Structure 1
Amino acid sequence: MSVTRPRTDDPPPPAAPTPGTEGVLTEAQAEEYVHGICFKTGPPRRIGTELEWFLHGADDPARPLGPAVLAAAADDLSRLPLAAAFSREPGGQIELSSRPAPSLADLVADTAADLAAVRGLLRDRGLRVHGHGHDPWRPPRRVLDLPRYAAMESYFDRFGPAGRAMMCSTASVQVCLDAGTADGGPTGFAARWRLAHRLGPVLVAAFANSPLREGRPTGWRSTRQAVWSRIDPDRTLAPRPLRDPRGAWARYALDAPVMCVRGGAHRPWTVPAGLTFRRWIADGARGPAGRPPTLDDLRYHLTTLFPPVRPQGHLELRMIDAQPGDDGWIVPVAVVAALFDDPLANAAAARAVRELAEDGPARPAGPTGAAGPGGSTGPGPRDGLWLRAARNGLTDPALRRAAQECFEAAAGALPRLGAPPRIRALVAAFAERHVARGRCPADDLLDAVTGREGRPVPARPAGPAAPAAPPSPTGKESRP
């Protein structure tokens, strides 16, 4: 789903391994390919973002929109002269994937112009975009009938209903950063990889913005992260150990289950059970796939892995809920950019998250256990700290302290990065309204639902209320 590619100074990716008979890929070739493309090293200079949004009617945000309405809007949006790439998600969400930008200011200017054009076109159609990590009003419904999404749905159904909720009812702000240099300093790719994971729970807590499902509180500030905690751990947790990013990612990718085997133009995509990519290579045509994998199969397999930080040459941070308002997305992008690309802020962030570091196996605090059977997965949505962040937001004292230190460091760094006054003001306002008070955007929405602070209660569909502390963010028990 990603097209954002921050540029680096690395040489071109390694040439495709020379296939054997009929394009057969060996295990050594697969490992060499993944190891070679996952982290492109060079001085960190570029930044990008991928923004997902829900569409709703201007008159009633809880009213479901039909597939024809969503498709017509998407067709019109795809013809806009945008700087970003436009795409659709399975539940009808729209996504803008920016071009790599040389600075935070350039990224914000380009993306804001694209969003203004998108909002203007939708306004003429009586539609709006809204930023929530999880759709607050409507149940999940897949509207894109594509082989990839049909296979993904079938695969995730084996783990319970959370997979469909993730596909059709979640949206995020993703931040894309250069991987870093090849050395061992703070700008090195290994240090930036570790910081991204250790900072993850702080970002989840500070920007949690999905406390509702079908109009009712779920018991989580980030229902989106709660949903992710109930999906296949072999493709949603972090590779381990964090100190060996390249080797860990290569092992993780080959040991992850194959989501689907693509068929031809008129053949269905099969969804084998329990087949890792490494096993597919070993079994070849004798296994359940019915044929050996090719390099193109490996490239596709990599697009079906969804850890909280995904290496695609650059680093893609995937743990932040979509944010409210026209400019809400700017704050997490600016904070992440400051903490990674300013040396003083980077050092401050490293100190702030030191006590939160989770460099090792995921603790068995999640709803269905910890790491997958292969033992190659580590921190992520099922880990105890990540779950605390998703449930409690910044009411958690340790996460609140870390967030305050990170926001203070980011505020000091933004002028040094050349961020214009508007960006600095947005970050300062968020810090004052939320971080300083131990709140996150989810708390604003919960206040609105309960009628606190004199806010109007939003429309909510009829139906039974979710329990105050539900066993599952999707309203149903997931199968382990």
Structure 2
Amino acid sequence: MTRLAELTEASAERHLGAICFKIGPPSLVGVEAEWFVHDARCPGGPVDPARVASALAALPGSADGPVFPAGSRLTHEPGGQVELSSPPAADPAACAAGLSADQAVLRAALAAEGLRLTGTGTDPMDRERRMLARHPRYRAMERYFGRGGPWGRIMMTGTASVQVCVDAGTERTFTERWGLTHLLGPVLVAAFANSPLLEGRPTGWKSTRQLVWSRMDPSRTLAPPPAADPREAWTRYVLDAAVLCVRREDGLPWDAPSGLTFRSWLRGGGERPATMADLDYHRTTLFPPVRPRGHLELRMIDAQPGEGWRVPLALVTALMDDPVAAEEAAAALERLGHAGSRAPRSGLWRRAAALGMADPDLRRAALACFAAAERSLARRDGRLRPALVEFAERYPARGRCPADDQLAALRTGTGPALQEDAPC
């Protein structure tokens, strides 16, 4: 079958089952960190994309964009957020060292233009949210999500995250790893909640970013229903999800017909037969809390200040790749109930987003998970252990999450503040 060959339901199912969970011993890890870009002197104002482009032009480059020392890839989100994606690394500490080095280069380049990175799950400033990306994909997304209210536009232009990527596992373990990521999800939302503000005002939620995701199209943001075989569950999920865009040439818009699922496209419902390339592109428009892309991509974590992304990286990899830590964490998480059943809209996920570490059940589970991860790092590789321990003592141990720092700054009249705030 060639890349452009016409698909059938059977061939689509075989393809998805073969590529979405790449089976093998866990050996690689990656992390993706997003930030907002603010003017260092006047953070409440818009940032001209030309200033960002000028800053990046000072870096070594290639046809694919700036070249960073450790090989991270820079991408731009529709609202002007920037993202660094680490290359796959053999261990979490090496992954962290590389992304830290590349973040320092990016930070310095932006600073030369009077700009700074802000790590938070929603833009804390009351400034205009603009769609800066002109690609037809994002224009189609804007119109598609616009049918359901403001949430899609807020997601694209006003949110940022940390994504931790781990291997799917072996044939014997991948089902357990898939289940553990979903059980762990509410704890990650609550412990790292860092988006209590929108348009400069408190929303009443510790993770407003999760609130936004919970209000969006459920065919592409809910977790697949629990199933004995994750491959079958994911295949059904992909084929039954609404088509967000159809790629077209000659400058035509990419809008998809309303109500068209990929399965109905395969059954003749589209303007032309669907191809393998269409199916692979369709997968990139699905945003569940855990997305299988050969590896598992955990998408539920708010962006963190500074190099705070190092802590979820350390926590997730310790719990996923150390069998002892995984068993300890699973025992604590099972007491929370089956958290992944309808994430991110289940009651537990919504409690995590609303209350963060103020929820006593989630706090207990978080403390158990951090303790299991800390013991794992002590046994195996302690380079990320100090950051994890410091975070656990500052936040879960005190019933707090990073969102509480933002709210405290607002109450004392110093926020919504950025570290380099200065009066305009």
Identify the TM-score tier after normalising by the shorter chain: over 0.9
Equivalent position to 1:428, from 377, 384, 389:
389
Deviation at 1:272, TM superposition (A): 1.2
Q: In structure 2, what is the Cα distance between the partners aligned to 1:170 and 1:242? A: 31
Give the SS at the match of 2:264.
helix
Structure 2 counterpart of 1:59, one-letter code = R
Counterpart in 1 of 2:325?
A: 345
Q: In structure 2, what is the Cα distance between the partners aligned to 1:56 and 1:244? A: 45
Counterpart in 2 of 1:306?
A: 287
Larger displacement relative to structure 2 (137-146 or 108-117)? 137-146
The answer to whether the Cα contact below 8 Å between 1:194 and 1:243 also exists between their aligned partners in 2 is no
- For the pair 1:403 / 2:366, whether they are aligned, the reply is yes
1:268-279 maps to which residues of 2 (within 5 A)? 268-279=253-264
Residue deviations 1:316-335, cap 9 Å, x none?
0000000012x211111101
Residue deviations 1:403-429, cap 9 Å, x none?
010111111111223132xx2111111
Structure 2 counterpart of 1:143, one-letter code = L
Counterpart in 2 of 1:266?
A: 251
Residues 1:139 and 1:383: Cα distance change in structure 2 (over 3 Å): farther
The answer to whether the Cα contact below 8 Å between 1:154 and 1:271 also exists between their aligned partners in 2 is no
Residues 1:242 and 1:73: Cα distance change in structure 2 (over 3 Å): farther
CA RMSD of aligned residues (A): 1.6
Counterpart in 1 of 2:110?
A: 122
The answer to whether the Cα contact below 8 Å between 1:49 and 1:97 also exists between their aligned partners in 2 is yes
Counterpart in 2 of 1:50?
A: 32
The answer to whether the Cα contact below 8 Å between 1:237 and 1:307 also exists between their aligned partners in 2 is yes
- For the pair 1:447 / 2:408, whether they are aligned, the reply is yes
Structure 2 counterpart of 1:119, one-letter code = R
Residues 1:76 and 1:28: Cα distance change in structure 2 (over 3 Å): farther
The answer to whether the Cα contact below 8 Å between 1:104 and 1:419 also exists between their aligned partners in 2 is no
Counterpart in 2 of 1:456?
A: 414
1:151-300 maps to which residues of 2 (within 5 A)? 151-183=140-172, 188-283=173-268, 287=269, 289-300=270-281
Give ranges in structure 1 of 5+ residues lacking alignment.
1-16, 361-377, 461-480
Q: In structure 2, what is the Cα distance between the partners aligned to 1:212 and 1:139? A: 14
Residues 1:39 and 1:394: Cα distance change in structure 2 (over 3 Å): same
Count of residues in Structure 1 that have an aligned counterpart in Structure 2: 411
Residue deviations 1:300-353, cap 9 Å, x none?
00000000000000000000000012x211111101111111122111110110
Residues 1:236 and 1:75: Cα distance change in structure 2 (over 3 Å): farther
**Percentage of matched positions with identical amino acids:** 57
Deviation at 1:74, TM superposition (A): 4.7
Larger displacement relative to structure 2 (148-157 or 242-251)? 242-251
Q: In structure 2, what is the Cα distance between the partners aligned to 1:74 and 1:165? A: 26
Residues 1:150 and 1:75: Cα distance change in structure 2 (over 3 Å): farther
- For the pair 1:108 / 2:96, whether they are aligned, the reply is yes
Structure 1 runs, 4 residues or longer, greater than 3 Å off: 70-78, 457-460
Structure 1 counterpart of 2:233, one-letter code = A
The answer to whether the Cα contact below 8 Å between 1:41 and 1:180 also exists between their aligned partners in 2 is yes
Counterpart in 1 of 2:80?
A: 92
Give ranges in structure 2 of 5+ residues lacking alignment.
60-64, 419-424
Structure 2 counterpart of 1:328, one-letter code = G
User: TM-score with structure 2 length normalisation?
Assistant: 0.94
Structure 1 counterpart of 2:298, one-letter code = L
Counterpart in 2 of 1:412?
A: 375
Deviation at 1:24, TM superposition (A): 1.7
Deviation at 1:357, TM superposition (A): 3.2
Deviation at 1:269, TM superposition (A): 1.3
1:22-33 maps to which residues of 2 (within 5 A)? 23-33=5-15
Residue deviations 1:161-196, cap 9 Å, x none?
00000011111010000001101xxxx010000000
Residues 1:268 and 1:116: Cα distance change in structure 2 (over 3 Å): same
Counterpart in 1 of 2:422?
A: none
Q: In structure 1, what is the Cα distance between the partners aligned to 2:251 and 2:359? A: 52
User: TM-score with structure 1 length normalisation?
Assistant: 0.83
Q: In structure 2, what is the Cα distance between the partners aligned to 1:71 and 1:205? A: 35
- For the pair 1:145 / 2:134, whether they are aligned, the reply is yes
Equivalent position to 1:79, from 63, 66, 70:
66
Counterpart in 2 of 1:3?
A: none
Deviation at 1:238, TM superposition (A): 0.7
Q: In structure 2, what is the Cα distance between the partners aligned to 1:310 and 1:249? A: 9
